[in-house]
């Protein structure tokens, strides 16, 4: 039976109950004397007198049923998203009946929604219950670090952010203690997580090697500094002071002093 038909039927029942109360109230003056034994006969009016309480329930239930009706009439994609959000937030496994109780998506009556969720990449279905399925099955920070160390070329943070609830906090914690790097990709501006391990062997493409070896650097450090500034890099005074102890930097300062004398 449709929800609207249930609402109409419930409303008619309320109206019938109200008319019964009115007729009972009108019949009371016609009985001037009522013996004590007749008091139990007045029980139906006293029971019916509780009818105003369901009237409040009727208003609340109407709003709830209208909300449920709007959800079930929504497009399949909206219902699928509602279920996935429930699975993601709770990280629990639910039967179709439990999903209906929690978010009002009646999967048993909507085959399109049921089949889409059963085959969804973000959902695991064991034949009875649905649960959320992240790309990487991780439980805590230690497992997160082990996974990142398996990707010396970096792993996208977007592939990790739904692994477990506080994974983003753990990423920042690993970065704070120097166990990983979080760098942005220049193309997509997305963060990439890299393991910070000097023993790690990083594979470099041959094209990048050739490009690096084919770059001819200026002989004068001043020209190198100008080229770096053209590419948006700022000079580091502390770095220059430390490098001043080396022979190369000494040659740079010596050459700079000769130019000033000239």
**pLDDT number for residue 129:** 96
**pLDDT number for residue 94:** 97
Structure tokens at 120: 């969804």
- Taking residues 88-113, report their average pLDDT: 94
Mean pLDDT of the chain: 79
- Taking residues 159-180, report their average pLDDT: 94
Task: Find the range with the poorest average confidence among 8-17, 69-78, 214-223.
Answer: 8-17
Would you tell me how many other CB atoms lie within 10 Å of the CB of residue 36? 6
**pLDDT number for residue 238:** 47
Q: What is the CA radius of gyration of the chain?
A: 37
Nearest residue to 157 via CA among 188, 196, 199: 188
d(CA 34, CA 225): 110
- Taking residues 166-173, report their average pLDDT: 95
Q: What is the DSSP letter of 40?
A: G
What is the end-to-end Cα distance of the chain in Å, rounded?
99
pLDDT band at 145 (very low <50, low <70, confident <90, very high): very high
pTM: 0.52
With a cut of 80, say whether residue 254 has pLDDT above it.
no
d(CA 174, CA 145): 8
* All domains of the chain in start order, with CATH: 135-237 (1.10.10)
- Taking residues 123-134, report their average pLDDT: 95
pLDDT band at 39 (very low <50, low <70, confident <90, very high): very low
- Taking residues 63-76, report their average pLDDT: 90
Residue 161 — left, alpha, or beta (φ > 0 → left; ψ -120 to 50 → alpha)? Answer: alpha
Task: Find the range with the poorest average confidence among 5-9, 62-66, 105-109.
Answer: 5-9
d(CA 251, CA 255): 6
Order of all β-strands in the sheet with 180-184: 155-156, 191-195, 180-184
């Amino acid at each position: 039976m449709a929800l609207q038909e249930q609402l109409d039927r419930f409303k008619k029942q309320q109206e019938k109950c109200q008319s019964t109360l009115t007729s009972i109230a009108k019949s009371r003056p016609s009985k001037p004397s009522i013996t004590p034994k007749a008091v139990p006969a007045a029980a139906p009016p006293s029971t019916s007198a509780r009818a105003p309480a369901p009237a409040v329930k009727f208003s609340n239930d109407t709003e709830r049923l209208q909300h449920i009706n709007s959800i079930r009439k929504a497009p399949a994609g909206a219902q699928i998203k509602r279920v996935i959000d429930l699975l993601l937030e709770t990280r629990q496994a639910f039967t179709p009946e439990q999903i209906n109780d929690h978010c009002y998506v009646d999967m048993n009556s909507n085959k399109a929604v049921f089949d889409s969720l059963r085959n969804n990449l973000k959902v695991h279905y064991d034949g009875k219950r649905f649960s959320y399925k992240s790309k990487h099955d991780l439980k805590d920070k230690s497992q997160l670090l082990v996974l990142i160390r398996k990707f010396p070329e970096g792993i996208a943070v977007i592939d990790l952010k739904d692994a477990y609830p506080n994974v983003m906090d753990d990423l920042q914690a690993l970065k704070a203690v120097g166990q990983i790097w979080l760098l942005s990709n220049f193309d997509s501006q997305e963060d990439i997580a890299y393991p910070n391990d000097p023993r790690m062997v990083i594979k470099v493409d041959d094209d990048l090697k050739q490009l690096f070896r084919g770059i001819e650097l200026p002989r004068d450090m001043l020209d190198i500094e100008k080229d770096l500034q053209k590419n948006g890099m700022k000079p580091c005074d502390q770095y220059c002071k430390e490098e001043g102890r080396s022979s190369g930097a000494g040659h740079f300062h010596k050459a700079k002093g000769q130019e000033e004398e000239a």
